[in-house]
Amino acid sequence: MAYLSNLSRYKDLGLLITRVGLGAMFIYHGYPKLLGGTHAWQELGSSTKYVGITFAPVFWGFMAAIVETLGGFLLIVGLAFRPVCILLLINMIVAAASHIGGGDGLQGAAHAIEAAFMFAGLVFTGPGRYSVDKK
């Protein structure tokens, strides 16, 4: 498949596509949580009990909603890219633990686990040339 070997020259475009796609979906999922108010934040933040954090669920829920929404935007533009990926990775670890702890099993946690692996890889890869953080 020699004709596909030239695509490696476009890795920055691939990173842009990945950033825009992931960022848009995290905004899509995070924005309603952010607008949900204290009741939604309480429910979301209670997921931290599965990783041993049992205090201030409203705060943790609000922080998770902010990370998903604002983090999605920052992912798209490529600003503060690595810290945002680390925060989104933490969010996905908690989400996976919540699904598994809530009885959904691996099937229910699969999306969060897949996203966690993606963010872990992006921490090392960086945002690419087409970003505010370009290096």
Q: What pTM does this model have?
A: 0.93
For residue range 47-66, what is the model confidence (pLDDT) as tens digits?
Answer: 999 999 999 999 999 999 99
Q: Residue 44 contacts by C-beta under 8 Å, 6 or more apart in sequence?
A: 33, 36, 57, 60, 61, 64, 65
Q: Residue 59 contacts by C-beta under 8 Å, 6 or more apart in sequence?
A: 41, 45
Dig out the tokens for 44 from the structure: 């979301």
Instruction: Give the C-alpha distances (Å, rounded to integers) separating 1 from 6, 8, 12, 13.
Output: 10, 13, 21, 20
Domain spans in the chain, listed from the N-terminal domain onward: 26-125
Dig out the tokens for 106 from the structure: 């691996």
Which of the 8 DSSP states describes residue 48?
G
Q: Name the nearest CA neighbour of 129 among 14, 21, 26.
A: 14
Alpha helices in 36-129 (DSSP H): 37-45, 57-77, 81-101, 105-125
pLDDT given for residue 79 in this prediction: 96
**Distance between CA atoms of residues 51 and 43, nearest Å:** 15
pLDDT given for residue 135 in this prediction: 61
| 10-residue averages of pLDDT along the chain (135 residues) | 81 95 97 96 96 96 98 97 97 97 95 97 95 80
